[in-house]
Amino acid sequence: MLIRSGRDGLQHPLSSDITPRAVYQGRRALLRAMAAGAGGSVLAAWAERDALAQAPGPGRLAPLPGTRSTVPGAVTMEKPTAYDDVRGYNNFYEFGTDKDDPARHAQRLKTDPWSVQVEGLVHKPGRLALEDLLKLSPMEERLYRLRCVEGWSMVIPWAGYSLSRLIERVQPQGSAKYVEFVTLADKAVMPGLRGSVLDWPYTEGLRLDEARHPLTLLAFGLYGEVLPPQNGAPVRLVVPWKYGFKSAKSIVAIRFVEHEPRTAWNKAAANEYGFYSNVNPEVDHPRWSQATERRIGEDGLFTKKRKTLLFNGYEAQVGQLYAGMDLRKNY
């Protein structure tokens, strides 16, 4: 991938520089095969009901099983993206800006021991060890779409629980209006920190009501196993109706604050990456359209693109959070 310098010294890949999807092929055709021939409609319906069963744990990392989530909208009926694509095609700039850099460099990441500091405007601040976080709530399986601002998307079976479980435990004060997430910045294992692409450590933020929404996931695993290092081990955020960069990886601190926090990409290029970062096909990125997307694993660069859905298809679940807001201004 080429990295070009933009205004204010920002180094950021252009859409044309993104690694071609054909390099990362490894598609599954099981659903298509099941739906073919006589009785195909019945088989297809069965496949949709059991979409998560199409993505069994690959047996490469420690298992992290969960029960099927009952949160409305938490299990899409779409086919999961192949595991090798999910773990091999990543944005994790701490390990490099090319899509395969995280898979090549993140294996040095040490996740044991690990803890998350909860601080700020809460009645019960403190440091929670990973073991305590894992025990906080039963694990659920959720099949979420994940949309990247650069025009590609995935469908990933996550394991975790609603972030609201943690929020309930720490008891935010009445003055808390936002939640800030701080991620690991370890120069010893993260070669990307030597660059100036972003202001390290990586930070993200949500409005408190967004953080409390049942679909906002504190994730510890995918495909029935613990998170691979390149996917944000050992604990990350997943906010399915927002662009993927809002889903902070390898979280080390969660801070409750009164005022809107500055986030990594917003600090780097405020005209391109707004605080809300909701998927909105009507708002173009300054350098490319957001109206369509390409699903990872769908037959390469010449496959017809999908139309991008408002809120990444989760409008029925989250649209009320933004009632009365100008979704073009609050991008």
Q: Tell me: the pLDDT tens digits for 67-103?
A: 999 999 999 999 999 999 999 999 999 999 999 999 9
How sure is the predictor about 57, in pLDDT bands with cuts at 50, 70 and 90? confident
Please determine, for residue 201, whether its predicted confidence score (pLDDT) is greater than 80: yes
Half-sphere CA count of 241, side-chain side, radius 13 A: 25
Q: What is the pLDDT of residues 148-188, one digit of tens each?
A: 998 999 999 999 999 999 999 999 999 999 999 999 999 99
Q: Is residue 110 part of a domain?
A: yes
Contact 308, 293 (CB under 8 A): yes
Mean pLDDT score of the chain, rounded to an integer? 86
Please answer whether residues 223 and 58 qualify as being in contact, where contact means their C-beta atoms are separated by less than 8 angstroms: yes
Is residue 3 assigned to a domain?
no
Query: What is the per-residue pLDDT for 43?
Result: 36
- What is the C-alpha to C-alpha distance for residues 72 and 50, in angstroms, rounded to an integer? 16
| β-pair type (4-5, 140-147) | unpaired
**Rounded-to-integer distance, Cα 240 and Cα 217, Å:** 8
Residue at 32: amino acid letter: R
Domains held by the chain: number: 1
Percent of the chain's residues with pLDDT above 70:
82
Q: Mean of the pLDDT values across residues 268-273?
A: 93
Inside any domain, residue 321: no
- Once rounded to an integer, what is the mean pLDDT over residues 120-136? 98
Name the nearest CA neighbour of 133 among 169, 108, 158.
169
Quote the CA–CA distance of 53 and 210 in Å, as a whole number: 29
d(CA 118, CA 170): 8
Strand partners, 221: 159, 226
Contacts of 75 (CB under 8 A, 6+ apart): 51, 52, 68, 69, 141, 142, 143
Q: Which is it for strands 251-257 and 115-120: parallel, antiparallel or unpaired?
A: parallel
- Per-residue b/e over 105-121, b at no fewer than 16 CB within 10 Å? bbeebeeeebbbebbbb
79: CATH: 3.90.420.10
pLDDT at residue 220, rounded to an integer: 98
pLDDT band at 144 (very low <50, low <70, confident <90, very high): very high
Q: Residue 219: which domain range?
A: 31-269
Residue 44 has pLDDT above 90, yes or no: no
Q: Would residue 8 count as lying in a domain?
A: no
Q: Is the dihedral of CA 179, 190, 12, 301 positive or negative?
A: negative
Looking at residues 309-327, what average pLDDT do you find?
97
Residue predicted with more confidence, 194 or 303: 194
- Whether residue 301 is contained in a domain is answered as no
User: Exposed (0-12), middle (13-18) or buried (19+): which is 59, by Cβ within 10 Å?
Assistant: exposed
Q: Would the pLDDT of 21 be above 70?
A: no
Contact (CB, 8 A) for 130 and 114:
yes
Share of the chain above pLDDT 90, in %: 76
Per-residue burial over 171-186, b if 16 or more Cβ lie within 10 Å, else e, is ebeeebebbbbbbbee
199 pLDDT higher than 50? yes
Residue at 287 is within a domain:
no
- Average pLDDT for 135-157: 96
6 pLDDT exceeds 60? Answer: no
CB atoms under 10 Å from CB of 196, counted, come to 12
pLDDT band at residue 53 using 50, 70 and 90 as cut-offs: low
Model's pTM, two decimal places?
A: 0.84
**Beta-strand relationship, 11-12 and 4-5:** antiparallel
Residue 15 domain-assigned (yes or no): no
**Taking the mean position of all CA atoms in its chain, how far away is CA 318?**
16
Tens-digit pLDDT profile for residues 26-37: 333 323 333 333
End-to-end CA distance of the chain: 27
Determine the pLDDT at residue 36. 39
In a domain, 54, yes or no: yes
pLDDT band at 298 (very low <50, low <70, confident <90, very high): confident
Alpha helices (H) in the chain, listed in sequence order = 30-35, 40-49, 83-88, 101-105, 130-135, 164-170, 208-212, 264-268, 315-318
